[in-house]
Each structure stands twice: as C-alpha cells, then as structure tokens.
Amino acid sequence: MLNRKIFLVLVGIIGFSLGFSGPAAAQNIVDGKEGVSVQKVSFPNGNITVVGNLFRPASFDKNRKYAAIIMVHPHGGVKEQTAGLYARRLAEQGFITSAYDASYWGESSGEPRNKEVPAMRIEDISRAIDYLSTLPQVDINNIGVLGICAGGGYALNAAQIDSRIKAVATVSMFDLGDARREGVDKSVTFEQRMQRVQQMAEQRTKEARGEAVRYVPIVPESPAQFTDKMLTLYREGYEYYRTPRGQHPNADNRQVFTAGLAQLAFYPLAHMEVISPRPVLLIAGEKADTRFYSQIAYDTAKNPRELFIVPGATHIDLYDKLQFVSPAVARLKGFFEKNLSVQGPSAPQEQVNPPTMNRTNAEQEIISLSKEKWRWMSERKVDSLAALFHDEAVFVHMGGTMSKNQELEVIRSGGIQYKNVEIQEASVRFIGTTAILLNRIRLVAVVGGNEVTNPFMVTEVYVQQSGTWKLGSLSFTRLLGP
C-alpha cells in the first residue's frame, strides 16, 4: 500500500490550487514542439487486412509531398513496440512513417494467428508501399524501408524484388532462415534440422485431420528456462517481450510450429547485389550475438553500402534503450535525408524550429531520453524507470523529497498517474559528464481519482555511469499562470 505520507505530499503537489475534472480515460504524451500525429490505417494483403499506424511529422502540411519510411517489426513483435518507437523518432525528423502489424499478427487479420511466413512478410512490405502510393502527400519516388531484427531480413529481401524501395536500412538484422537451419550460434546439426523437418511435416498432417494448431514459444517464458549456453539475444528477448520493459498484449510469445518449414527455405541475403545502386545501411550493436549477420549482408551487397556499429550495444539494446537508439536514429536520419530527397514545386522548404536547429546529438539524446521517461511514467513501466533512475537519485516536489524507491512506489501503486505531459520548451546544458535539462511542461495527472492540471518547470539532472545516462535528480517547480 502507498505510504500515506508520500501520498499526501503528492496530492499537495499536483492538486495545488486547481479544480478536479474526474479520472483519466487515456494516457498520452504530447510534445509541443516535435509532436507527431498518429492515425490508425489499414490496407489489404489478399484476403488479409493489415492494420498499421501512420505517423505524420509536426506542422504537417497536406499541400506538400514528403519522403516516407516503412517500419518492419521483428518476428513475434507488433507495431506498438520497437517499430513504433523508430517510426515516431523518424517522424520527428520530418518523414511520414508507418508501422504495421504483419499478416497473422497483432491487430492484422489472418488465421491461424501468429503464423510467420517469410513470403507473406515480404508481400506486406510491398502492400504497404501500395498504400502509401495512394496518399497525395507521399512522394512515390522517395520511399524507404527500415527493418528491425527479422524485419531487417525481410526489408533487404523486399528491396531485391521491389524497385520502389529507394533506400533500405536495418537495425539488429536477423537472418531467420539461417537461424532456423543452423542456429544463431551454429549449434544445430544437419541431423537435428532434418528431425525438426520431419516433426513439422507430421504436425501438418495432424492439423489437416482436425487436430489443434501447435504453438511454440519464441523467447523463454521465464528466467527459469535460461541455460548456461543460452545466447544473450534470447535472455534479453525475455526481458523485452515478457516483462513490462517492452511487453504488449498483442505479442503473446507464441508462433505456429509448422511455419518453420517456410522459414527453413528463406534466404534473405542470397541476392544482395541486385539492390545496388540503391543504398543500404546496416546498423548493429557492438556486443550483439547477431552482429555477424549485418557483416554478411554488408560483404555481399554492392556500393553504396554502410555498416554502422553502435558501441556497447547488444541486439535487444537497439530496440528501446535510448542511449543506443539515439545514435542509431541519428545515422538513419542522415541516411534517409541523403537518399530520399523530395523534388518538385510541392516539396517542403527546409524549415527547422529554432530551438532544435542547433541541437547536438548529445543534446537530442538527453531530450529524447527525457521524453521516453515521461512515457514510461505515463504507462507505469516501473522496470524501465528503475533502470533509468540512479540508485542515489533524489526527487524533489513542492511538498518534499523522495528517494528512488519511494518515487517508483508512487508510480507503481497508481496513487499518482501521469496522464498527459505537454512539453512546451526544453534546453540542455552539459557540465563534464553531467547533463542538466530544463523542461517547461503542462502536466495533467490523476491523483486519488481526480484529474488536475499544473504548469511546471522541471529540472532533470542526468549523470553518466559506465557509459549510460542515469537520472540523478528530478525537481518540480510550479509556475504561476494556468
């Protein structure tokens, strides 16, 4: 139960001198300067309806044409996870972006559920391009694709057969076919592979005769299933997909067992040379178990090509950890800006908001990390916040101070719910390895079932610890005015 003293302190902070309008109905983060609009869309892939989110940049002008980037999510993932994060971050850079649920997954239709068929995943990409080509604001000659994990393999394969893809990039690229045939660590023998082929063939016969579809897990369901030889990829896959860090109800960690037959026959890197002269960018973590896949793709592609290694990052780190995502996004921004250039009288003139125009990558990294923190607070992702908060962090409110554990308990218990944060102004100053962020915000929160609104100047202090930014202090100062 929430400590009564802490709760009373927070009621005094958030409910100060303002009226109440009832409990929260939804949670949103709105960035006043780099805000991105999101629209639910759908398009057909045969008799399947593919459902996605379309992201438009801030100050979207319906009379202009924009370059567009399609996100392809990992095997077992959905559009709300890492694909959605990259879609939003690239929309903040001025692109129209889309993240969709693959056929048979998430909100998209298709039976049986969670069937991972490479040919369908690749066709999804071309169908997404079909859809974007119907939007008057999208320049059909400037469409790129970004694939994450297995989505990277699909993106590269799609670029080999769909020339409408003018630039293709991957993050933590994963060759699903090779992994099924030999294992990421090359531990699967030929005999083991053929035994699995026989098992899947027999299962198809059973299902044809009316037996239930067999499902198998994608990553471990709990740490109890970890083994000494298990790759970091799968350990961290559990942390991302099966804990509040990245878990989503539409990604339930199961896949159709017999779909593995189609995966065994998938060779996404077989004809990398035909992508040229269109450019390829491969981004991988320095410590990723799968880094060699990106190296193979780079070695077999022709110029223009680029392999960008993110220092210190693992495969899964690049899904959501802002200290690794931010340099990846910075490189993606440069890559797509260079290779997707909208031409013609309707093209937008380069116009950058003065407060963001001169930001360094380090400043943008801190601002992005802060925005992600507000999102985690809104969604009560306590595990993500616990990793971000320094163990000695101090949280200063008008009514007093709290420790890391006290702040996390307030968020975990729901005693205070951060419903909506409108970021009106942000600035960063560095002192050595310390970053000081000043945020002018308008905060809508729910305290004790009542909704309250306050303007605040929030001071956030970040310190580097083993190369990672940690939040050391978070201070709220209420401003005068509405």
The CATH class of 35-352 is alpha beta
Please give the distance of CA 259 from its chain centroid, rounded to a whole number.
Answer: 25
Residues 6+ positions from 417 with CB-CB distance below 8 Å:
24, 27, 378, 380, 445, 446, 447
Mean pLDDT within 110-118: 97
Mean pLDDT within 55-64: 92
The one-letter code for the residue type at 102 is A
CA distance 408 to 431: 27
- Residue 357, pLDDT score: 35
Mean pLDDT within 320-333: 93
Helices 4-14 and 404-413 pack at an angle, to 10 degrees, of: 80
- Residue 354, pLDDT score: 34
Is 465 a residue whose pLDDT tops 90? no
Please give the distance of CA 67 from its chain centroid, rounded to a whole number.
Answer: 20
CA distance 457 to 397: 11
Spatial CA neighbour of 291 closest among 152, 86, 89, 466? 152
Residues of the chain with CATH 3.10.450.50: 4-30+359-478
Neighbour tally for 187: CB within 10 Å: 10
63-72, 242-251, 271-280, 468-477: segment of lowest average pLDDT: 468-477
Say what percent of the chain tops pLDDT 70. 87
- Residue 379, pLDDT score: 85
Give the count of alpha carbons within 13 A of 444, CB side only: 16
The one-letter code for the residue type at 265 is A
Q: Tell me the per-residue pLDDT of 178-223, one tens digit each, with 9 for 90 and over.
A: 999 999 999 999 999 999 999 999 999 999 999 999 999 999 999 9
Main-chain phi, psi angles of 171, to 5 degrees: -125, 125
Is 480 a residue whose pLDDT tops 80? no
Query: Confidence band (pLDDT; 50, 70, 90) for 13?
Result: very low
The one-letter code for the residue type at 260 is G
Is 31 a residue whose pLDDT tops 60? no
Instruction: Print burial letters for 371-395: b (CB count within 10 Å at least 16), e (below 16).
Output: bbbbbbbbbbbbbbbbebbbeebbb
Query: Confidence band (pLDDT; 50, 70, 90) for 6?
Result: low
pTM of the model: 0.71
Is 139 a residue whose pLDDT tops 80? yes
Region for 396 from its dihedrals, namely left if φ exceeds 0, alpha if ψ lies in -120 to 50, beta otherwise: beta
Spatial CA neighbour of 147 closest among 108, 102, 94? 102
Q: What is the DSSP letter of 15?
A: T
Q: Which residue has the higher pLDDT, 30 or 375?
A: 375
Residues of the chain with CATH 3.40.50.1820: 35-352
Q: Under DSSP, is residue 315 helix (H, G, I), strand (E, B) or coil?
A: coil
- Domain 4-30+359-478: give its CATH architecture: Roll (3.10)
Query: Confidence band (pLDDT; 50, 70, 90) for 381?
Result: confident
Give 40-49 contacts, CB < 8 A, sequence gap 24+.
41/98, 41/131, 43/127, 43/128, 43/130, 43/131, 44/127, 45/103, 45/120, 45/123, 45/124, 45/127, 46/123, 48/103, 48/104, 48/108, 48/109, 48/110, 48/120, 49/108, 49/109
Is 63 a residue whose pLDDT tops 70? yes
